[in-house]
Amino acid sequence: MTSSSTFLYGANVRANGIRQHYLRYGGKGPALILVPGITSPAPTWGFVAERLGQQYDTYVLDVRGRGLSETVPGMDYSLAACAQDVGAFAQALGLKDYILVGHSMGGRIGALVAANHAEGLSRLVMVDPPVSGPGRRAYPSKIDWYVDSIRLMTAGEPWERLRDFSPTWTDEEVRLRGEWLHTCNEDAIVQSYNEFHTTDMHVHLPQIKVPTMLMVAGKGGVIEAKDIEEIQQLVPGIKVDHVPKAGHMIPWDDLEGFFDSLNTFLPTKV
Instruction: Could you please state the CATH topology (level 3) that the domain comprising 7-139+199-262 is classified under.
Output: Rossmann fold (3.40.50)
pLDDT given at position 2? 47
pLDDT given at position 190? 98
pLDDT along the chain (270 residues), means of 10: 82 98 98 98 98 98 98 96 98 98 98 98 98 97 97 98 95 97 98 98 98 97 97 98 97 98 97
pLDDT given at position 1? 43
Tens of pLDDT, residues 70-91: 999 999 999 999 999 999 999 9
pLDDT given at position 3? 58
Its pTM stands at 0.98
DSSP state of 138: P
How far apart CA 66 and CA 1 sit, in angstroms, is 24
Four-residue CA torsion sign, 13, 22, 161, 77: positive
Domain positions in the chain are 7-139+199-262
Positions marked catalytic? 104, 224, 248
Residue (of 132, 128, 111) closest to 212 by Cα position: 111
pLDDT given at position 264? 98
**In DSSP terms, which residues pair with 124 in a beta bridge?**
100, 212
- CA of 132: how far to CAs of 16, 102, 198, 252, in Å? 27, 17, 8, 23
